[in-house]
Structure 1
Amino acid sequence: MAEPRQRRTPVDAPSKTPAVSYADAAAAAPVHDEVLAAQTADVLTLLLILRFCSALCVRTFFQPDEYFQALEPAWELAFGPISGAWLTWEWRQHLRTSLHPVLFAVAYAAADSLLRLMHCVGPLRAIILTHLPTVVQAVIAAVADFSVWRLAGHLYGRDSNATWTALWLCVLSPWQWYCGTRTFSNGLEAALTSAALVFWPWQLFAADSTSAESLFDSSTAYNTVGRVGPVGRLRLSLLLAAFAVVLRPTNLLIWAALLTVAVTRLTLDSSSSSSSSSSPLRPSFVARLAVEIAACGSLVLAVSAVSDRLFYGVWTLPAYTFLDVNLAQDVAVFYGRNPWHYYLSQGLPLLTMASLPWALTAVYAALTSSSSPSSSFSSNARRALAFSVVTTVAVLSLVAHKEVRFLYPLLPVLNVLAAPQVASFFTATLPSTSSASKAPPSATSLRHKRLLSVGLVLQAVVAVYLSFFHQPAPLSVLSFLRHEYERIHHNWLELTAAELPYFDVYPDYSFLHQSSIPSILASGGGGDELFALFLLPCHSTPWRSHLVYPGLRARALTCEPPLHTAPRSAERAAYLDEADRFYAALGRHDPAARNAFFVEELWPRFPWSSDAEATEGTTTWMHNGEIPRYIVGFEGIEDVLVGYFASDDPATGGADLGISLRRVWTGWNGFFNEDWRRRGSLIVWDTGVYSNASHPDTL
């Protein structure tokens, strides 16, 4: 316990610093605390403003998981099963925890209730609901940045150059700008991880085991007078970490690495000059730590289990299913296979961009350099963080399917580790020229300004290009379709899903053989109208989170994985999903083979004979399948579409469908695309079979 404050007496030991009374210090302390609180509030406020700006500026498409692993299930939770949300196979197989979409479902439901209370419906409601998730994610991204600043303050000192450099690395990161406000589960995972590290008891990495074991000291562990005690901070850290692990099971690698170093104390520097490593922790302390981990982990698992039970309708363990399907059944490779060095040659460079050299040297230095007894705490903490980086990258490199965003939770750690290296390279400490006793002992100035300017400009160019110019069409095309729906079906905008005529709104269930609608029957459109057909690579656009209206029915090509096949079997190797079959047919030279997908899957032909034709022995060929109002595709398929709809070949042509394509919208999609199927502009064609294509209907 701290001794009560009292005025110093002459018997006190002499001090080299000017004498300051305890009364004066007590009077000054609240001012200091207020300054720190104001500084903290200012930093958080500025980060929120920055991320809100990012949410408004990022107007491009990156990866489908941003929408289909979060917003589509959230939309169904908020608006019901007939709202038009697209639940992919991962949700039908119980691979994902419901905790992530619940976050956005609550935001959707709250915003919708407020908007309806204010009688705000139609286009304005659609715009608000479309942008709402990025605003929520902006708060999460700001918390992640703020946590990096707090963590760096714990390790380097609150006002050190390294601490502020860590914050600047977050603010200036192109990856954080581009992906921070996207609704990936990895973004929430990174925020939870960085927040958990802030509350982590770093005294576990103290130079001597006695200091580490003071975590559960009864005299300090539960000090809650104005602050959470060490045990409370540990529990909060474990709860946040457990949520991150439930959200993304691979996050366990980070915490397993930290705990391994903390418990074994291998490679940690000792405070004793005669010992190169610290002594291990007592078994009783490790047992107590294990109890805390088990208790916090069990609580989070219980919350997750109840949430998943309510979401799926059955008891399930998504983390186990996720690992079983993706690793044991090797389904993840269906969506891509990468070389073992992918994270080293592409992942880390894309994640860190210009700070890569300092991040790599910081990891190496933390693992190999020794420290003096006075700096062993910071050195040990950095060594543990570096070990978690190496462990995570090494283990994830063993998995065939790799993506840069899988390393996202390492970005806060890398920023903290790289901060001292960046600060020492770009700043210099100059001695003070003032002789005043209260003058600061030193000042900081920038150096290597030209290199710094070039790096900042390059990072700004990358961020601006990715935010505005790389793949903007997949988002803007949905705005066009939504506006067209508002124009044509303007009287349906206020209807809820329950008030609309019922139809099957799930696009991943084929509509083939469910209707026989010859082109001559197509009219002004109604409740069962197929508003848009997307002939694109699988999940090339968002879905209901941007289409919004449940009556705006659409259909897209799917990419269901071959769950029915054995891993590494010939059947799996030969499997083609619907989107692959479509593009495989387009690549054939023979017109009949090129039109095979249209004839066999989209608008299959079937024989039909009237009584008179049966008597005469003749047969009329009809088409199954629905005719959409609009067809959406990249410009590379235009010639094939036009050729099919113009062909009057009775076996392979589609002229009898009565479709005459007309471009009504064209969207530029960037200077390049790594997927050849997505190259060129994105186009919307009007099929011309609906009588009210050019004016609002009167329903």
Structure 2
Amino acid sequence: MAMWTLAACLVVFRVFNALFVRTYFNPDEFWQSSEVAHHMVFGYGYLTWEWQPHAQLRGYAHPAIFALLYKSLQLLGLDSRWAVAYGPRILEGVFTAITDIFLYKLARTYFDASTAKYALLCQISSWFVFFALSRTFSNSIEACCTTIALSYWPWHFMSGQAKRESGESTTERRHLRIAVAFAALGCIFRPTNAVLWVFLASSLLVRSTSPVSLILSTFMPIGVVSIAAMAVVDRIGYGEWTFVPFNFMKFNVLEGKDKLYGVHPWHWYFVAGFPQATATHLPLILYGVFLTQQRDLAAVVLWSLCVFSFGAHKEPRFLFPLLPASFVYAGKALHSLETRTFFKPVVSLLVAANGAAAVYFSRFHQVPRHVGRHGPHTSTRWAARSVGRARLLGRPRRPHRLDRLSPALPRHALVQPSPSQHPALVPHVHPIVRAVWWIRLTWVCSEREVGSPSDALRQDPLAFATARYAATPLPTYVVMYSSSAAALAESLAAWKFSLDQAFAHATVSLDADSPVPDTHMLVYSRKAHKSP
């Protein structure tokens, strides 16, 4: 298959992938990307505390990508509800396809074309890649930049045709500059990406015959330009000069406040995170590493896992940039098994198991923003209709403190309240927001010292609700998970609330802190305020 044909097929597949995913995974999918971009272009949208002047923990480079998309749509008069909602997803699907393409190039350069074919198969068939990589995380674009950089990196060995093609020093220097440029770009999007490149750059300098020349001619110029570009983008975003990587490191490392988002044991990436992300491909990855002496990529992955393990807070999505490199070894393993009689059954099982998991987690597990059998936006159609009747929306671009819709569930789980561009809310809200504003929660989203509303609710739902409304008017609607309903049933009845809607959410619980599955999201309304 010609490379351009392969690229076109991958783009089509990943755009389909991006549009197929309808489940909830993590709030940063919106709060650190398209919601910020919407605020930049359209002038409204909610910014979490990390983007406030006192924190400045996030760089504007990543949301700027989607801001350019939104601005283009606006200038062309194409900023429809659907385009604003799904444009970022489609663009991220293209980025994921680019990651696939350069994974193929990386595996072909690192091993050979046959290995590249199977490495690409492993990435395409991965349930976790399908489920998570096409979402608008900064980790996703970080993975794209990392894979491109690795595909151009001057490994100390090359194999076959790749070695002959890169034999000229001019070509090697050009490839190194491309690699360093994309490595720098990855670090701009995610400062933690520097962990990979500290290891690789150090290794390159150690084996270089002229390390000083390498630093002065390649690393330093690209580094200076990258830092300057990042500083300018953040200056535009924040309105003042700031150095986000330092703010990020100070908060998460020096002050150790990453613990606020959850604490995991040091070995979590090895026993849970990496096995979860690689799933059925993990035995193939390990076997591929065993088969070859070319273990530079494996060393990068192992080094990164070890360094990431020092952090208190850990998430599988932090491993996005390590997955393509890992699948290179899985491809090597499959290539070695190609002539075995059990090869086809193994591949079939691999694809079937991952395909089933991909469909389940992408379509059915945790669907707060796309629920109901009458269409993908049943819950938000109801919300827009009901909230509109209750006159809970104010004027555009003006904060509106709302005491009449209360989420009795964690902030990050409420039909993901990202007003201006959330894929569920936007198709129903975006054309209205020019005339009305959206739901604004009463509590302020800010840095917390200890605990969270999620913890308080989980530990004692009744005490949480009682304290919440001890001195404030009761809301018109209360939204909660089914697991909290029993504890609040009597109080809700006493407060004249009745069940209005129930939306399917999940069939199993994957949260160790909440073993009871939240099968539904329940909406209660006060009888005195129910619309006819």
Query: Shared fold (TM-score greater than 0.5)?
Result: yes
Once residues 502 and 62 of structure 1 are traced to their aligned partners in structure 2, the CA distance between those partners, rounded to angstroms, is 28
Aligned-pair CA distance for 1:424: 0.6
Aligned residue in 2 for 1:137:
92
Once residues 39 and 399 of structure 1 are traced to their aligned partners in structure 2, the CA distance between those partners, rounded to angstroms, is 43
- TM-score if structure 2 supplies the norm length? 0.86
Structure 1 residue 148 and structure 2 residue 103: aligned? Answer: yes
Tell me if structure 2 keeps the 8 A contact 1:189–1:409: yes
Once residues 487 and 562 of structure 1 are traced to their aligned partners in structure 2, the CA distance between those partners, rounded to angstroms, is 34
Tell me if structure 2 keeps the 8 A contact 1:538–1:556: no
Distance 1:128 1:420, change over 3 A: same
Aligned-pair CA distance for 1:136: 1.0
Q: Deviations over 1:197-225 (max 9, x none)?
A: 222234x5479xxx99x99x8xx62xxxx
Among 173, 177, 182, the residue aligned to 2:130 = 177
Distance 1:290 1:165, change over 3 A: farther
Once residues 489 and 178 of structure 1 are traced to their aligned partners in structure 2, the CA distance between those partners, rounded to angstroms, is 31
Correspondence 1:601-640 to 2 at 5 A? 602-605=468-471, 624-625=472-473, 627-640=474-487
Once residues 459 and 74 of structure 2 are traced to their aligned partners in structure 1, the CA distance between those partners, rounded to angstroms, is 43
Query: Which AA in structure 2 matches 1:638?
Result: A
Structure 1 residue 75 and structure 2 residue 41: aligned? Answer: no
Aligned residue in 2 for 1:408:
320
Aligned residue in 2 for 1:27:
none
Tell me if structure 2 keeps the 8 A contact 1:531–1:552: no
Structure 1 residue 455 and structure 2 residue 416: aligned? Answer: no
Structure 1 residue 345 and structure 2 residue 268: aligned? Answer: no
Query: Which AA in structure 2 matches 1:143?
Result: I
Aligned residue in 2 for 1:434:
none
Where 2:366 maps in the other structure, the secondary structure is: coil
Once residues 255 and 230 of structure 2 are traced to their aligned partners in structure 1, the CA distance between those partners, rounded to angstroms, is 24
Aligned residue in 2 for 1:282:
209
Once residues 341 and 636 of structure 1 are traced to their aligned partners in structure 2, the CA distance between those partners, rounded to angstroms, is 30
Query: Which AA in structure 1 matches 2:41?
Result: A
Once residues 311 and 172 of structure 1 are traced to their aligned partners in structure 2, the CA distance between those partners, rounded to angstroms, is 38
Aligned residue in 2 for 1:65:
28
Among 70, 73, 96, the residue aligned to 2:58 = 96
Aligned residue in 2 for 1:682:
521
Aligned residue in 1 for 2:68:
106
Q: Deviations over 1:76-112 (max 9, x none)?
A: 11211xx242423355511111101111122223234
Q: Deviations over 1:475-516 (max 9, x none)?
A: 43894454246546889x9xxx9x9366424xxxxx5xxxxx
Q: Deviations over 1:284-324 (max 9, x none)?
A: x5423443111101111111101101111121111111111
Structure 1 residue 552 and structure 2 residue 438: aligned? Answer: yes
Tell me if structure 2 keeps the 8 A contact 1:186–1:406: yes
Once residues 481 and 161 of structure 1 are traced to their aligned partners in structure 2, the CA distance between those partners, rounded to angstroms, is 47
Once residues 294 and 187 of structure 1 are traced to their aligned partners in structure 2, the CA distance between those partners, rounded to angstroms, is 26
Aligned residue in 2 for 1:242:
184
Tell me if structure 2 keeps the 8 A contact 1:84–1:553: no
Once residues 340 and 256 of structure 1 are traced to their aligned partners in structure 2, the CA distance between those partners, rounded to angstroms, is 21
Tell me if structure 1 keeps the 8 A contact 2:371–2:505: no
Distance 1:531 1:200, change over 3 A: farther
Structure 1 residue 316 and structure 2 residue 228: aligned? Answer: no
Among 644, 655, 658, the residue aligned to 2:491 = 644
Aligned-pair CA distance for 1:472: 1.4
Q: Deviations over 1:242-277 (max 9, x none)?
A: 011122222112112222222223xxxxxxxxxxxx
* Structure 2 runs not aligned, ≥5 long: none
Tell me if structure 2 keeps the 8 A contact 1:532–1:628: yes
Once residues 100 and 140 of structure 1 are traced to their aligned partners in structure 2, the CA distance between those partners, rounded to angstroms, is 13
Distance 1:162 1:634, change over 3 A: same
Where 1:631 maps in the other structure, the secondary structure is: strand
Aligned residue in 2 for 1:270:
none
Tell me if structure 2 keeps the 8 A contact 1:537–1:678: no
Tell me if structure 1 keeps the 8 A contact 2:497–2:524: no
Where 1:663 maps in the other structure, the secondary structure is: strand
Aligned residue in 2 for 1:300:
226
Q: Deviations over 1:544-591 (max 9, x none)?
A: 22233342214276774445xxxxxxxxxxx333333344342xxxxx
Correspondence 1:172-571 to 2 at 5 A? 172-202=125-155, 204-205=156-157, 221=170, 229-265=171-207, 281-283=208-210, 285-366=211-292, 369=293, 382-425=294-337, 427-428=338-339, 447-476=342-371, 479-480=377-378, 482-484=380-382, 486-487=384-385, 500=395, 503-505=398-400, 511=401, 532-541=405-414, 542=416, 543-544=418-419, 545-546=421-422, 547-548=425-426, 549=429, 550=433, 551-555=437-441, 560-563=446-449
Tell me if structure 1 keeps the 8 A contact 2:36–2:45: no
Distance 1:673 1:585, change over 3 A: same
Where 1:400 maps in the other structure, the secondary structure is: coil
- TM-score if structure 1 supplies the norm length? 0.67
Query: Which AA in structure 2 matches 1:42?
Result: T
Distance 1:86 1:475, change over 3 A: farther
Query: Which AA in structure 1 matches 2:507?
Result: G
Once residues 457 and 153 of structure 1 are traced to their aligned partners in structure 2, the CA distance between those partners, rounded to angstroms, is 26
Where 2:203 maps in the other structure, the secondary structure is: helix
Q: Deviations over 1:612-668 (max 9, x none)?
A: xxxxxxxxxxxx34x544321112333444422444xxxxxxx4xxx4323234224
Aligned residue in 2 for 1:515:
none
Query: Which AA in structure 2 matches 1:671?
Result: V
Aligned residues: 508
Once residues 679 and 481 of structure 1 are traced to their aligned partners in structure 2, the CA distance between those partners, rounded to angstroms, is 16
Distance 1:554 1:632, change over 3 A: farther
Aligned residue in 1 for 2:82:
127
Aligned residue in 2 for 1:663:
500
Once residues 365 and 517 of structure 2 are traced to their aligned partners in structure 1, the CA distance between those partners, rounded to angstroms, is 12
Correspondence 1:46-61 to 2 at 5 A? 46-61=9-24
Q: Deviations over 1:525-551 (max 9, x none)?
A: xxxx66632221231142222233342
Distance 1:314 1:454, change over 3 A: same
Distance 1:140 1:262, change over 3 A: same
Where 1:402 maps in the other structure, the secondary structure is: coil
More displaced stretch, 414-423 vs 306-315: 414-423
> What is the identity percentage for the equivalent residue pairs of Structure 1 and Structure 2?
26
Tell me if structure 2 keeps the 8 A contact 1:57–1:468: yes
Q: Deviations over 1:359-396 (max 9, x none)?
A: 12333555xx4xxxxxxxxxxxx332222112111111
Distance 1:39 1:206, change over 3 A: closer
Once residues 282 and 52 of structure 2 are traced to their aligned partners in structure 1, the CA distance between those partners, rounded to angstroms, is 36
Distance 1:90 1:106, change over 3 A: same
User: RMSD of the alignment, in Å?
Assistant: 3.1
Once residues 489 and 398 of structure 1 are traced to their aligned partners in structure 2, the CA distance between those partners, rounded to angstroms, is 45
Aligned-pair CA distance for 1:48: 0.7
Once residues 59 and 16 of structure 2 are traced to their aligned partners in structure 1, the CA distance between those partners, rounded to angstroms, is 30
* Structure 1 runs not aligned, ≥5 long: 1-37, 222-228, 266-280, 370-381, 429-444, 506-510, 512-528, 564-574, 587-593, 606-623, 648-654, 695-699
Query: Which AA in structure 1 matches 2:259?
Result: V
